[in-house]
Chain A
Amino acid sequence: MLFTGILFVTTGMAQKYFTKDGKISFYSDTPMEKIEANNTKAVSVYDVSTGQLEFAALIKAFQFEKALMQEHFNENYLESNTYPKATFKGKVTEPGAVDFGKDGKYQVQVAGELTIHGVTKQVSTPATFQVTNGHISGSASFNIEVEEYGIKIPSIVREKIAKEVKIDVQSDYLPMQEKS
């Protein structure tokens, strides 16, 4: 379990923020075909004091426009019966730069380990925290190369699936406190 030992209470100043409704979308764009999939149930926890940032998403919860694409994605490429989750464990490199008590848009850098299809790779991306009336949202957009994650695309559909897939992440965070 990724997020054990946490309990939700409403009192006190939050050191950690979480969401269970994180949105992760990815886009594969080639002249032959555009593919998009959306997941609205990613879990994310952000620790303000350490800058520790984690995400987890269920592969089967990605929804495609076409049933066939979704089937191929799960069965042939991501092998989601064997690897049901994708995770990210990393850090905001300068957590102190973000003042969650003050409205504004904060540009940060996020770096860490992304695990997809059972393969873990280092990723680094610019990200944005937006604070509006105490409401906190985070977003990031980055590209990954599918081959790096041991995902083999057969030559027959090579023209239809991009080598580089764009991933968009968007989460609205809520305050959380650790069980004491």
Chain B
Amino acid sequence: MLRKAIIVGLVVVLVAGLVGYKLYNKPFQDVDQVEPVASMTAKELVSAYQENEQAANEKYLDQFIEVTGQVQEVKEEDNIWTVTLDANDVMSAVRCEMDYIQEAHKPDFSSGQVVTLRGKCTGILMDVVLVRCIEVSH
């Protein structure tokens, strides 16, 4: 009886441990697989934020979106690539931090090209900032 209880107890602890470990190590969302909630131009995204930041956050904050625009700048620092998409605006653009969690994404395009990037919207400071971006097309 006692032996049975000990075995059951051990199994419970083991399963709980495994579940806990799995949960603890759960992977980041797969950018390649994730379905974007919206697609738009860089200008449309910036305009939405300029018109009403709160409303734009309700729609896009923490969501994966696809943004198309002309590349203004491509830069690298400490192996993290950042692509700035022009939004035809003096103040603001869309700044996209390329993904480095799942896979390092080094952009193979340059300034002036029109590209579509998918990334997670984190809100606006001066620019709308996207993180974990990957290239969808160019």
Chain A positions near chain B (C-beta within 8 angstroms): 2-4, 6-7, 20-21, 40-43, 56-61, 63, 66-68, 70, 74, 80-81, 84-85
Q: How many residues of B contact A (CB 8 A)?
A: 29
Residue B9 is within 8 A (CB to CB) of chain A in the complex: no
Identify the closest chain A residue to B54 (Cβ). A84
Q: Please state if A68 and B122 are interface contacts (CB–CB under 8 Å).
A: no
Residue B101 is within 8 A (CB to CB) of chain A in the complex: yes
Residue B39 is within 8 A (CB to CB) of chain A in the complex: no
Known: A40-B80, A67-B28, A74-B62. A60 touches B123 (CB 8 A): yes
Known: A40-B77, A60-B131, A68-B23. A81 touches B61 (CB 8 A): yes
Q: Please state if A63 and B90 are interface contacts (CB–CB under 8 Å).
A: no
**Chain B contacts of A84 at CB under 8 A?**
57, 61, 122-123
Known: A21-B77, A85-B123. A58 touches B25 (CB 8 A): no
Count, A-B residue pairs, CB within 8 A: 73
List 30 interface pairs A-B (beta carbons < 8 Å), by A numbering: A2-B126, A3-B125, A3-B126, A6-B91, A7-B90, A20-B95, A20-B125, A21-B82, A40-B77, A40-B97, A41-B95, A41-B97, A41-B129, A56-B125, A57-B125, A58-B122, A58-B123, A59-B122, A60-B62, A60-B123, A61-B122, A66-B25, A66-B26, A67-B26, A67-B28, A68-B25, A68-B26, A70-B28, A81-B61, A84-B57
Q: Please state if A85 and B125 are interface contacts (CB–CB under 8 Å).
A: yes
Identify the closest chain B residue to A179 (Cβ). B90
**Chain B contacts of A74 at CB under 8 A?**
62
**Chain B contacts of A56 at CB under 8 A?**
125
Identify the closest chain B residue to A70 (Cβ). B28
Q: Please state if A43 and B125 are interface contacts (CB–CB under 8 Å).
A: yes
**Chain B contacts of A41 at CB under 8 A?**
82, 95, 97, 122, 125, 129, 131
In the bound assembly, the distance between CA atoms of A61 and B120 in angstroms comes to 9
Q: Closest CB-CB distance, A62 to chain B, in whole Å?
A: 9
**Chain A contacts of B77 at CB under 8 A?**
21, 40
Q: Closest CB-CB distance, B42 to chain A, in whole Å?
A: 15
Identify the closest chain A residue to B57 (Cβ). A84
Q: Please state if A66 and B24 are interface contacts (CB–CB under 8 Å).
A: yes
Q: Closest CB-CB distance, B75 to chain A, in whole Å?
A: 8
B27's partner among A6, A67, A80, A81 (CB-CB below 8 A) is A67
Known: A41-B97, A81-B62. A61 touches B24 (CB 8 A): no
In the bound assembly, the distance between CA atoms of A41 and B124 in angstroms comes to 11
Most buried by A among B26, B82, B122: B122
- Enumerate the 5 nearest inter-chain pairs by beta-carbon distance, A residue then B residue, closest first: A60-B122, A61-B122, A58-B122, A43-B125, A67-B28
Q: Please state if B125 and A63 are interface contacts (CB–CB under 8 Å).
A: no
Q: Closest CB-CB distance, B12 to chain A, in whole Å?
A: 18
Q: Closest CB-CB distance, A163 to chain B, in whole Å?
A: 22
**Chain A contacts of B80 at CB under 8 A?**
40
Residue B127 is within 8 A (CB to CB) of chain A in the complex: yes
**Chain A contacts of B25 at CB under 8 A?**
66, 68
